[in-house]
Amino acid sequence: MLAGFIAAMTGAGQNGLWRAVAAYSPFKDERLFPLHGVGAVVIVFLVVATAYLIRFRSEKRQLEHISHRYQNAINASLDAVVVTDITGRILEFNTGAERIFGHTRAAAIGADMATLILPEAYRPINKALMRTLIESGQTVLDSRGRMKIEGLRSNGEAFPAAASLGLSGPADDQIFTSYIRDITDQLKAQEDLTQARDDALAAARARSQFLAVMSHETRTPLNGVLAVLDLLAAGPLDEQQKNFVREGINSGELLQRHIDDLIQLNELENGAITFHPSTFSIGELVNEVITMNAAAATANGNLIVFDSPLSGTYILEDRRRLGQILVNLIRNAVKFTRGGRIQIEVDRVKGPEGEDLLEIIVSDNGAGIADADRDRIFDSFVTLDSIDRRTHRGSGLGLAICRRIARAMGGDIGVDSREDQYSRFWVRLPFHEALAAAKSSGFQASAARPFELLTGRLGLNVLLVEDDQTSRLVAREMLSRLGCQVAEAVDGLEAVRAAADHRFDLILMDVNMPKMGGLEATQAIRGGMQSASRLTPIVGLTAHALPEEQERLRQSGMQECLIKPVRARNLQGLLRHFTDFQSECAGGNAPSDKIPASDPAVDHDTLAELASLLPPKLFHERLSAFRAEVYGMDASLRAMRADQDPQAIGRLAHRYAGAAAMFGATPLREHLAKIEMAALDDQRACVEDLLAPVGALVAATVAALDQRSADTRS
């Protein structure tokens, strides 16, 4: 009926209402029509109101559902979510805010946000930020995310926080939403990490310092032990005494190597390794290492074989570091092989990306390495013998150091081996080929520091500065036996006074001394304009083998440093470096063109050693090639005028000197080295003088080689 009434009402035209009422009214009396109209309006209103009520309740349920979900979402947040109006009055305060700030939601609603949860210093800043957002019309403060602020807990405690602020809503009903996170634990974790890092760095520095100190403290007595043994070995001893001294020296040198390994491992682990590239012949370096291990190889019945297409190739690399790798690999091969063959190969190969690599392979048919040990032999302190049956002495650091050096040089090292059959160690490094250049000396003087070559007197006047009595005693004895006149000082102050009063040819300066250390004393001597020894070469005596320590000595004004323990051969090499060249050229005296009768033209031991290393046919081929090269040497050198290009003469002399050294032509090699040094120092007159006796040296060398060739063929 209601439906029919509504249909009649809506479709009956202008008077539809009254007709509908009349049609459906139970009262047919037309006088009552106005009353029926009022009732009809009421009915319509009720119908419409009912429809709107039903819709309102549905939308309310949806809004309540959305509100509930929104409330759950913000309450689930670990961060504080605070909603305010544009005046800063809190409209919403979630569970995270209750937990972080300590206020209940009921207490927070309606309160001023800045007063409730911000320290006083931050309240003006908050107001300014809100005003900026309103005036600029931006929806967020900036694009960088959160900013660091401080929050205020209900107990008055301030804490670090990260916050972001956003503006939303229509212009007449805008709200601010703040997201605030307590970062106390985060900052504490960062501080702990920073402290841990600082502690680790401090521990590393302490360890480095400890090793440096222990290096000095250990090397000082070791210096005395080895030096005394060297002196004993040079004296009259019976065979048993010689064996005792030899064993003592071997044990002392082994201890010295262990100390060096520990110090170098510390240097590598701290990333303090530095490289000093120089140009050198790779073949010459390999032959030097072979010579060093020749005696041990012979004792074990081993044959070392080396042949390479790169024997005469010059490369640019850190010679000392590469030599260290070779020494370790060849020494290990010799040590773990009995009656076998050790093969050394050097070649240029292509890397995975087509780059040129220098490949060095050291292989042997010795003990080999078990599969289980192959991956760990490059770890620190790994030895393959058990503690109770050690047959090979060592610290287990050699290969670990080799791997670190190789990788620091941009390459790598690895091994292929089978137990009881063979081992094949390989090293691959970036290949840097270079032109032949002057061989770098172990003792170099910087042109930037005061330096004056010594006079040619047989007895050098040396000032020895050393606080340790034993070290001073043995150093003085060594110097005396080498023909030096020795003055002594026990600390830096005495050294400065002595250097001021007397002009010494050389000063050997200990570094760590009481009253005044060696660095201060060196600087005082260099700075004393009236000091008689202001320009005298100063060589530091130090047990600090770390490169940065040695560099400090050079920076103080020292020309070089000699690492303790000081050995007789090292000291002799040092003195020879500072005297040989000047003794030839001092005063403009031309060297004699006579060859000393006591100085044979060829060292037959060196030549015999080379013959044992090479197959007979190859040895004679190389010997003939060297003889032909020597024969034309004099003419080649003289073809270059010293007054026009001394550097070219130096390079040529260097190339000839390397070949002469390999074949034991010692007098010729030493003379060529002097020509090289004079040429590189641009001492043109001296070069002309030194070229004079080359013809006689060449003739004597060729004659000796011919005699050697005849002897070996007969």
Whether the Cβ atoms of residue 266 and residue 214 lie closer than 8 Å to each other: no
Domain 79-182 has CATH 3.30.450.20: yes
CA-based R_g, the chain, Å: 46
Whether the Cβ atoms of residue 411 and residue 427 lie closer than 8 Å to each other: yes
Whether the Cβ atoms of residue 229 and residue 248 lie closer than 8 Å to each other: yes
Domain 461-575 has CATH 3.40.50.2300: yes
188-269 folds as Helix Hairpins (1.10.287)
* pLDDT digit string, tens, across residues 218-276: 766 776 777 778 778 777 888 888 878 877 877 777 677 667 666 666 666 665 566 77
CATH number for region 604-713: 1.20.120
pLDDT at res. 159: 93
Q: Give 675-678's long-range contacts (Cβ < 8 A, gap of 24+).
A: 675/637, 675/649, 675/650, 676/438, 676/439, 676/650, 677/581, 677/650, 678/581, 678/585, 678/646, 678/650
pLDDT at res. 428: 94
Q: Which residue has the tokens 């031309």?
A: 590
CA-CA-CA-CA torsion for 560, 563, 568, 571, nearest 10 degrees?
0
CA angle 693, 620, 302 (to 5 degrees): 110
Superfamily of domain 278-431: Histidine kinase-like ATPase, C-terminal domain (3.30.565.10)
Sequence ranges of the chain with CATH classification 1.10.287.130: 188-269
pLDDT at res. 233: 77
pLDDT at res. 75: 63
CA-CA-CA-CA torsion for 427, 433, 434, 435, nearest 10 degrees?
120
Give the residue among 512, 570, 519, 544 at the shortest CA–CA distance from 267.
544
Q: Which residue has the tokens 């520091």?
A: 449
What are the tokens at 20? 């509908």
Whether the Cβ atoms of residue 506 and residue 475 lie closer than 8 Å to each other: no
Sequence ranges of the chain with CATH classification 3.30.450.20: 79-182
**Which residues of the chain fall short of a pLDDT of 50?**
2, 5-6, 9-10, 12-14, 17-18, 21, 27, 143, 385-395, 437-458, 581-599
* pLDDT digit string, tens, across residues 510-532: 888 888 888 899 988 888 767 88
Q: Reduce the DSSP state of residue 92 to 3 states and report it.
A: strand
Pairing of strands 485-489, 538-542: unpaired
User: The dihedral of CA 418, 372, 350, 274: what is its sign?
Assistant: negative
Whether the Cβ atoms of residue 113 and residue 91 lie closer than 8 Å to each other: no
pTM of the model: 0.40
Sequence ranges of the chain with CATH classification 3.40.50.2300: 461-575
Task: Please tell me whether the peptide bond between 565 and the residue prior to it is cis, using omega within 30 degrees of 0.
Answer: yes
For the chain, the distance separating the N- and C-terminal CA atoms, rounded to the nearest angstrom, is 145
Buried b (16+ CB within 10 A) or exposed e, 538-563: bbbbbbbbbeebbebbbebbbbbbbb
Distance CA 474, CA 563 (A): 15
